[in-house]
């Protein structure tokens, strides 16, 4: 699958983090879709196809886990990479139990994020072939 055809939604209420992720994803050939909250993501009626989500666990308002749960109930969960600044040891395990590809602790490296996006894209390739 061509990276340019991969839409990666970033849902994070930290605008500086979102901008950095947007630049990284764009420079790596992906199409970033930036949302400042779970509620904004859900409100966008003409949202493009989302192939992968980078989803902050702790958002103002609806949490990343709550958004993932709501998408699962609707039957439309793309591969998710959870990100968090929470240092709790149980957070990565909770994220994996929620069915994510990866749970990354902020600050994470560009390489670790892009590797996780690569694994998410690989699941798309498997499901379409």
Could you say which DSSP state residue 47 is in?
P
Instruction: Give tens-digit pLDDT for 85-125.
Output: 887 778 777 888 888 999 999 999 999 999 999 999 898 76
pLDDT at residue 123, as a whole number: 85
For residue 128, what pLDDT band results from cuts at 50, 70 and 90? low
Contact partners, residue 109, CB within 8 Å, separation at least 6: none
Write the CA distances from 127 to 24, 31, 41, 58, integer angstroms.
Answer: 26, 20, 24, 30
Structure pTM? 0.91
Instruction: Give tens-digit pLDDT for 4-59.
Output: 689 999 999 999 999 999 999 999 999 999 999 999 999 998 889 999 999 999 99
């Amino acid at each position: 699958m061509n990276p340019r055809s991969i839409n990666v939604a970033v849902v994070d209420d930290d605008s500086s983090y979102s901008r950095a992720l947007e630049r990284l994803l764009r420079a790596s050939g992906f199409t970033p879709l930036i949302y400042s909250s779970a509620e904004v993501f859900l409100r966008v009626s003409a949202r493009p196809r989302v192939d992968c989500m980078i989803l902050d666990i702790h958002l103002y308002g609806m949490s990343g886990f709550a958004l993932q749960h709501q998408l699962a109930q609707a039957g439309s969960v793309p591969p998710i990479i959870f990100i968090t600044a929470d240092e709790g040891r149980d957070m990565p395990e909770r994220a994996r139990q929620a069915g994510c590809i990866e749970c990354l602790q902020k600050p994470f490296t560009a390489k670790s994020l892009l590797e996780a996006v690569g694994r998410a894209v690989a699941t798309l390739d498997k499901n379409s072939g």
